[in-house]
Amino acid sequence: MKTYLECIPCFMQQAFKTACIATNDGIKIKEVLDSIGDMIKSIPLQNTPPETGNIIYQKIHEITNNHDPYREIKNRHIKEALSLYPELKKTIEKSKDRLLTAIRIAIAGNVIDLGVNKDFNINDDLKIILKQNFAIFDYDEFKKQLNKSESILYLGDNAGESVFDKLLIEELDKPVTFVVRGRPVINDCVIKDAIASGINNVADIISSGSPAPATILNLCNKSFLEMFKNADLVISKGQGNYEGLSEVNRPVFFMLKAKCNVIADHLNVKENDIVLKNINSDLKIN
């Protein structure tokens, strides 16, 4: 997905928010704003938004000398999500369609997204998303593909959301490899967040190598690319991964909530809609 003009003021807002979390030093925060301002004219609109995000967040880390500004917030989100786990597990166990309920819960976890300029309340969102109609609902295809899959690649998104991903992975009942970012960026899940979320008990964990807040294939490592090419089923969580992979040349199941207008338009759904979308269902996996 290309970068839309609407993304540019959003980059500035994200940069300000992250700079304020990364440091209390107003001079450094101003330096971040000046630097992102200077960068605007050279943003390649043909690139995906998280490719630009990668450069912006790297810049913020350098200027503030804080390479993991969301660490504390991530830890808190994981802790909060873990406290919800037992109740959510029961919700799944009591439901008529366990797999679908687990998918809904995994999508609800996707509201824990600090790259989007919105507040969220995970409990409120859970209530809504457990009942909400899907705007795109490729569930039959998903079940069919799941049944015949022997290897599943699960592209994680945010820390905290990862606890909700664990609940879905438990329902998939297949060998799963859970993929995280190559370095801390916004509140995205890295290896230690996946472990703190208990993913190591239900899946293998690997890093894609991508330093961007998304799976950007030309920034990923070889071993991930090999797995991505060959996996029977790829599940991609969240907006960032969608932005990075919407034009990729293999089947992918996207699970996300459309949290901004640009993504909603691109998916041809409304803001706040939830989506289970398959792309390239006609392509064979190599």
Could you say which of 1, 22, 24, 30 contacts a copy of itself (CB under 8 A)?
30
Q: Smallest gap, in angstroms, from Cβ of residue 26 to a copy of itself?
A: 6
Task: Give the residue with the Cβ less far from a copy of itself, 114 or 179.
Answer: 114
> What SS3 string covers 194-254?
HHHCCHHHCCEEEECCCCCCCCCHHHCCHHHHHHHHHCCEEEEEHHHHHHHHCCCCCCEEE
Task: Give the residue with the Cβ less far from a copy of itself, 8 or 248.
Answer: 8
Which residues, numbered 34-63, are part of the site for a copy of itself (CB under 8 A)?
34, 36-41, 45
Q: Smallest gap, in angstroms, from Cβ of residue 64 to a copy of itself?
A: 13
CA atoms within 13 A on the CB side of 257: 26
Q: Is 283 an interacting residue with respect to a copy of itself (CB under 8 A)?
A: no
User: Which amino acid is it at 247?
Assistant: E
**DSSP string over 144-179:** HHHHT-S-EEEE--BTTHHHHHHHHHHHH-S-EEEE
Q: Is 284 an interacting residue with respect to a copy of itself (CB under 8 A)?
A: no
Q: Is 128 an interacting residue with respect to a copy of itself (CB under 8 A)?
A: no
Q: Is 12 an interacting residue with respect to a copy of itself (CB under 8 A)?
A: yes
Report the relative pairing of strands 274-279 and 252-257 from DSSP bridges. antiparallel
**DSSP string over 132-143:** PPEEEE-HHHHH
Task: Give the residue with the Cβ less far from a copy of itself, 16 or 139.
Answer: 16
Q: Smallest gap, in angstroms, from Cβ of residue 7 to a copy of itself?
A: 10
Which range, of 26-34, 66-74, 175-183, 255-263, touches a copy of itself by CB under 8 A? 26-34
Q: What counts of helices (H) and strands (E) characterise the chain? A: 12, 7
Under DSSP, the state recorded for 33 is H
The three-point CA angle 115-54-12 to 5° equals 55
Give the helix/strand (H/E) hosting 106. helix 98-109
Point out which residues pair with 233 in neighbouring strands.
Answer: 152
Q: Is 247 an interacting residue with respect to a copy of itself (CB under 8 A)?
A: no
Which range, of 27-35, 101-109, 177-185, 199-207, touches a copy of itself by CB under 8 A? 27-35
Task: Give the residue with the Cβ less far from a copy of itself, 37 or 175.
Answer: 37
Size of the site for a copy of itself (CB under 8 A): 20
Which range, of 12-20, 181-189, 212-220, 255-263, touches a copy of itself by CB under 8 A? 12-20
39: three-class secondary structure by DSSP: helix
Q: Is 191 an interacting residue with respect to a copy of itself (CB under 8 A)?
A: no
Chain centroid offset of residue 245 CA:
11
Could you say which of 6, 62, 173, 226 contacts a copy of itself (CB under 8 A)?
6
Applying CB under 8 A, the residues found at the interface with a copy of itself are: 5-6, 8-9, 12-13, 15-16, 26, 29-30, 33-34, 36-41, 45
